[in-house]
Amino acid sequence: MNLDRFFDIPSDLQHSWAGLIGLHLREALLPVLAGLLLALPLAQLCVRFRWLYPPVLGVTTVLYAVPSLAFFVVLIDYTGQTELTVMIPLAVYSLVVLVPAIVDGVRSVPQETLAAATAMGIGPVRRYLQVQLPIAVPAIMAGLRVATVSSISLVSVGALIGNQGALGNLLAAAQKYDRPELALNSVLTTAALAIVCDALLVLLRVALTPWMPSGRRPKTAPRQRPVPQGVTR
Amino acid sequence: MESVTKRYADGTVAVDRLSLEIRDRSITVLVGPSGCGKTTTLRMINRMVEPSEGTILLDGEDIQRRPVTTLRRSMGYVIQNAGLFQHRTIVDNIATVPRMLGWSKQKARARAAELMERVGLDAALAKRYPYQLSGGQQQRVGVARALAADPPVLLMDEPFSAVDPVVRKGLQDELLRIQDELGKTIVFVTHDIDEAIKLGTMVAVMREGGRLAQYAPPAELLAGPADAFVEDFLGADRGIRRLSFFPSASLDLTTGPVLPLDATAEQIAAAGAPWLLVTDAEGRPLGWGEPRTLTAGAIRPGELLPYGRPFVPGTDSLRAALDSAVLSPAGHAVAVDDAGRVTGVVSQAAIGEAIRGAHAADRADEAKVAS
């Protein structure tokens, strides 16, 4: 291993080290954002119609169990060897964490609080936006942390479809040029990104919820993330 | 409320043909065991539950004809555990309805500050969040929030049942004081008959199946329960509790056995009573003593037995007077004025006489009303 060439990224990756980090963050975070936008209405439907929750949960879990490689094979016919092909499965995977987190969060709002809101003449839409959602923030943020960290670790798999794996591409390059320091770089940088993003989300949560007793965990923890399956994860 | 029924889809009847006239500017208490439909009844008033049959009129107008949000904002609602918005500060919690009614932020906050003072909350709590308050304080915020837009009607659903007895008594006294100042029409739900009797101008006792068992002022309820259910629900000591409604002003006080600390042997002998109440220089009670154990001329407080709790004639009821007499070793109640100075003592026998007299006066009143 030649640590002097730790940051010497092969030119065929078309990015500097910092460039790879930017690309990695984009490929990891945009899917989580998309997943959140999708999960919010989905979770609200599950809260409103209770019977919908078990099937939705089942479907998201099954989708999570589909290996990303299988997704790529299907998607590549439509979206080609692009970032999008990597990001779509990641967005789908994030649902398995985000939907239950939001549902549990919204359901954790005490009955008395809801009754009080109704009795004050607060309509259902306003009640959702001004009461239920803000009180669900700690649970949602807990879900976002798991989804974000998982997404950051999963982006690397994009290396399989023609250099779309951002920092993951370093793994392929390490093999190709027999330069193990690139693999080390990939692993360490990905881990650091995950830790930094997680810490930022914790700070965001604290900033968003001055009303939470400090030092106490959110009441509703997100569901345990299922054990990953598939080749490269 | 005219013959109101709530029947659920599965056939359960929560409220059965309930008719009730709720008087303006008074506290009407709905009381009964769990599952008697009292909360359902309350929630039909602000249409959180829609009745299956019957109509509810507010100032002669069917509440169904008012837009539901307008109706609800004209009625304050206080709930068990307060139901505060945990993500908003105390001042913002209280200002919720005024803000929805379009008040400016400044005006709403000023109103909230005014209400915090009225319900006995320190202004320093305004910027706190609910988790930083005790249960009793949270409940006060709940009351302030309900009063924020000055609604004519206040609906209270077991608001004080989740706090400890001492705090509950404080909240009840506070509610009575606020009611004296504001004169709202309050409908109050509780399962606690003592709370009902303490707070209610009128008390509606409900029984399982959502039926009204009796609707009467508390004194009347204690004097004449309509049936065995109500009698049972009132509990074993309703006779004693009823005494709360008889004034003590008419009791004949005697100052014979009352002596100062420096009483002479002659004075002690002249009093001629088996027990003497000794007072300090200002006339405040110190305790009871038997003549033979007292040191004439310089009675020491150590020679005396505790006098229990004195009562204030005119302010306190016969219940307080009887309690005072029962607590005292001499069997005499100690009467004091507002400054705590002894105005006289009265025997258990005399209190018993007053109770019989009060009952007789009550019966005479009823006969007059009947004829």
Once rounded to an integer, what is the mean pLDDT over residues B3-28? 81
Once rounded to an integer, what is the mean pLDDT over residues B314-333? 87
Which residues sit opposite B179 in a β-bridge? none
Residue B143's pLDDT band, with cuts at 50, 70 and 90, is very high
Structure tokens at B231: 């009698």
CB contact under 8 A, B48 and A118: yes
Residue A46 scores a pLDDT above 90: yes
Is some CB atom of chain B closer than 8 A to the CB atom of A67?
no
Of B77, B82, B131, the CB nearest to A213: B131
pLDDT of res. B242: 86
Please give the Cα distance from A186 to B145 (Å, whole number).
56
A81-108 tens-digit pLDDT: 888 888 999 999 999 999 999 999 999 8
- A53 or A225, which is more confident: A53
pLDDT of res. A221: 42
Alpha-carbon distances of B182 from A177, B118, B120, B176, B177, rounded to whole Å: 85, 10, 15, 10, 9
Q: In what order do the strands lie in the sheet with B13-18?
A: B13-18, B2-7, B53-55
Is some CB atom of chain B closer than 8 A to the CB atom of A115?
yes
Residue A219 scores a pLDDT above 70: no
Please give the Cα distance from A100 to A121 (Å, whole number).
29
CB B259 within 8 A of CB B276: yes
Burial zone of B14 (CB within 10 Å; 0-12 exposed, 13-18 middle, 19+ buried): buried
pLDDT of res. B88: 93
pLDDT of res. A164: 79
Distance between A36 CA and the closest CA of chain B, angstroms? 22
Residue A224's pLDDT band, with cuts at 50, 70 and 90, is very low
Mean pLDDT for chain A?
A: 86
Residue A233 scores a pLDDT above 50: no
Percent of chain B surpassing pLDDT 90: 27
Choose from B87, B88, B157, B161 for mutation: most chain A CBs within 10 A: B87
Residue B271's pLDDT band, with cuts at 50, 70 and 90, is confident
CB contact under 8 A, B69 and A121: yes
- B281 or B1, which is more confident: B281
Please give the Cα distance from A226 to A96 (Å, whole number).
9
Please give the Cα distance from B307 to B105 (Å, whole number).
56
Once rounded to an integer, what is the mean pLDDT over residues B99-119? 91
Please report, as a single letter, which amino acid is at residue B285.
Answer: P
| Nearest alpha-carbon partner for B349 in B361, B335, B362, B332 | B332
Structure tokens at B99: 């803000």
Which residues sit opposite B154 in a β-bridge? B76, B186
Structure tokens at A194: 């995950």
- B250 or B320, which is more confident: B320
pLDDT of res. A31: 94
Residue B295 scores a pLDDT above 80: no
Q: Which run of H or of E encompasses B368?
A: helix B348-370
pLDDT of res. A57: 93
B36-84 tens-digit pLDDT: 888 988 998 989 988 888 888 888 888 888 888 889 988 999 998 888 9
Burial zone of B4 (CB within 10 Å; 0-12 exposed, 13-18 middle, 19+ buried): buried
Torsion of CA A104, A105, A108, A110, to 10 degrees: -150
CB contact under 8 A, A211 and B88: yes
pLDDT of res. A213: 82
pLDDT of res. B137: 92
Choose from B44, B48, B86, B156 for mutation: most chain A CBs within 10 A: B86
- B94 or B268, which is more confident: B94
Q: DSSP states of B147-185 as a string?
A: HTT--SEEEEESTTTTS-HHHHHHHHHHHHHHHHHH--E
Residue B369 scores a pLDDT above 80: no
Please give the Cα distance from B251 to B110 (Å, whole number).
49
pLDDT of res. A229: 44
Q: DSSP states of B60-72 as a string?
A: TEEGGGS-HHHHH
- B269 or B100, which is more confident: B100
Residue B190's pLDDT band, with cuts at 50, 70 and 90, is very high
Which residues sit opposite B14 in a β-bridge? none
CB A95 within 8 A of CB A45: no
Beta-carbon count within 10 A of A54 CB:
10
Please give the Cα distance from A231 to A228 (Å, whole number).
10
- A196 or B283, which is more confident: A196
Residue B5 scores a pLDDT above 80: no
| Nearest alpha-carbon partner for B311 in B354, B357, B239, B247 | B247
pLDDT of res. B282: 84
Residue A68 scores a pLDDT above 80: yes
Percent of chain A surpassing pLDDT 70: 92
pLDDT of res. A167: 86
pLDDT of res. B270: 79
- Hunting for tokens 């089942």 — which residue is that? A58
pLDDT of res. B313: 87
Which range among A131-140, B143-152, B277-286 shows the weakest confidence by mean pLDDT? B277-286
CB contact under 8 A, B87 and A121: no
pLDDT of res. A232: 42
Terminal Cα-to-Cα distance of chain A (whole angstroms):
25
Please give the Cα distance from B189 to B177 (Å, whole number).
19
pLDDT of res. B51: 86
Q: Which CATH superfamily is domain A15-208 in?
A: MetI-like (1.10.3720.10)
Please give the Cα distance from B193 to B31 (Å, whole number).
7
Residue B3 scores a pLDDT above 70: no
Structure tokens at B128: 């706190």
Cα A47 → chain centroid? 22
Residue B114 scores a pLDDT above 80: yes
Residue A32's pLDDT band, with cuts at 50, 70 and 90, is very high
Residue A146's pLDDT band, with cuts at 50, 70 and 90, is very high
CB B13 within 8 A of CB B4: no
Residue B358 scores a pLDDT above 60: yes
Q: Look up the ipTM and state it.
A: 0.75
Residue B1's pLDDT band, with cuts at 50, 70 and 90, is low
Task: Look up residue A165 and give its DSSP letter.
Answer: S
Structure tokens at B343: 């105005």
Which range among B1-5, B104-108, B274-278 shows the weakest confidence by mean pLDDT? B1-5
Strand segments, DSSP code E, in chain A are none
pLDDT of res. A216: 52
Alpha-carbon distances of A124 from A46, A129, B30, B160, rounded to whole Å: 15, 9, 29, 28
Residues 6+ apart with CB under 8 A from A137: A105, A205, A208, A209, B87
- Helix, strand or coil for residue B53? strand
The residue in chain B having the minimum alpha-carbon distance to the alpha carbon of residue A116 is B83
- Please report residues of A whose CB lies closer than 8 A to that of B48: 115, 118-119
Is some CB atom of chain B closer than 8 A to the CB atom of A213?
yes
- Hunting for tokens 């006239």 — which residue is that? B21
The residue in chain B having the minimum alpha-carbon distance to the alpha carbon of residue A118 is B48
- Rounded to the nearest 10 degrees, what angle do helices A133-154 and A180-208 cross at? 180
Structure tokens at B35: 């599952």
Residue A198 scores a pLDDT above 90: yes
pLDDT of res. A223: 45
pLDDT of res. A71: 86
Choose from A111, A122, A140, A211 for mutation: most chain B CBs within 10 A: A211
Please give the Cα distance from B281 to B258 (Å, whole number).
12
Best-predicted range by mean pLDDT (A65-79, B170-184, B321-335): B170-184
CB B203 within 8 A of CB B216: yes
